[in-house]
Amino acid sequence: MVHDNFFLIFGQIVFIIAIALLIILIISLILGVILVKKQKLIFPKMVIFTLDFLYSPLKKLASLLGFDEIMVDQIGVEIRNHINKKEFKEIDNAKKIIVFPHCLRHPKCHAKLEKTGLDCNVCGLCAIGEIKPKAEEMGYKSFIIPGSTFIKKIVENYEFESVLGIACYEDLNMSMMKLSKFKPQGVLLSRTGCYNTEVDVQTVLKKIGYINEKTNTKNSGCSKDNLNNPSKNL
């Protein structure tokens, strides 16, 4: 009898937890969809918490409800961009890194792969060659990596306080999730795939503070001396 009661109570507790999780998942998904469609940020930290701890169930739920699973990553990237934006701007550029995906390079790229990524010689054939010198002029350290294992090497070998990543939604969300203590910002590839991908150069230059977000003009403060705090110019 005691035995039966134990299993009854245990079953009820499991059922209540499952229902509570389902409710949290549904609420988070609804709030995420509102963010993506209407650009309204409601309880962002709760949505990020759900994304971090219930990522796979959230993707399954999205798929069951007829949404594209990638939307879950889109929600993650947009919320993280929003909640980290201010702190990212305030961090000294010399303490920031920019990480390019290796798929962005031109098919004729001759850059060699080194310990922490491609050694780009800025030949000008791809967007990396356009962004990298400007970002470095501002103080950023840049990396072009073939996969997420290189992120681990960068974290182990370099000191930095913040990161801007460029990738497809899924890679971007996962990387921003892993690097959440670095107040990450992300820019989505405009053409995804395994090679010859594309990114909107202007969007990246705005994110790093090279171009003014509001006026679309080059920041007047883009000289070596006063680039370290682009937030003054934005």
For ligand SF4, the binding residues (CB under 6 A) are: 105-106, 109, 111, 118, 120-126, 128-129, 144
- Tokens linked to 79: 């919320």
What are the angstrom distances between the C-alpha of 215 and each of 40, 49, 126?
A: 24, 35, 26
Distance CA 150, CA 101 (A): 11
Min dist. Cβ of residue 102 to ligand SF4 (A): 8
Exposed/middle/buried for residue 27 (C-beta within 10 Å: 0-12, 13-18, 19+): middle
Residue nearest to ligand SF4 (CB): 129
Min dist. Cβ of residue 164 to ligand SF4 (A): 17
Nearer to ligand SF4, 120 or 222 (CB): 120
Helix (H, G, I), strand (E, B) or coil at 157: helix
Min dist. Cβ of residue 111 to ligand SF4 (A): 4
Nearer to ligand SF4, 109 or 135 (CB): 109
Distance CA 130, CA 124 (A): 6
Min dist. Cβ of residue 116 to ligand SF4 (A): 14
Nearer to ligand SF4, 70 or 123 (CB): 123
Min dist. Cβ of residue 62 to ligand SF4 (A): 35
Min dist. Cβ of residue 132 to ligand SF4 (A): 7
The values of phi and psi at residue 85, to 5°, are -55, -50
User: Could you tell me if 33 and 71 are in contact, meaning their C-beta atoms sit under 8 angstroms apart?
Assistant: yes
Nearer to ligand SF4, 120 or 163 (CB): 120
Nearer to ligand SF4, 2 or 194 (CB): 194
Distance CA 199, CA 188 (A): 7
Nearer to ligand SF4, 11 or 193 (CB): 193
User: Could you tell me if 28 and 47 are in contact, meaning their C-beta atoms sit under 8 angstroms apart?
Assistant: yes
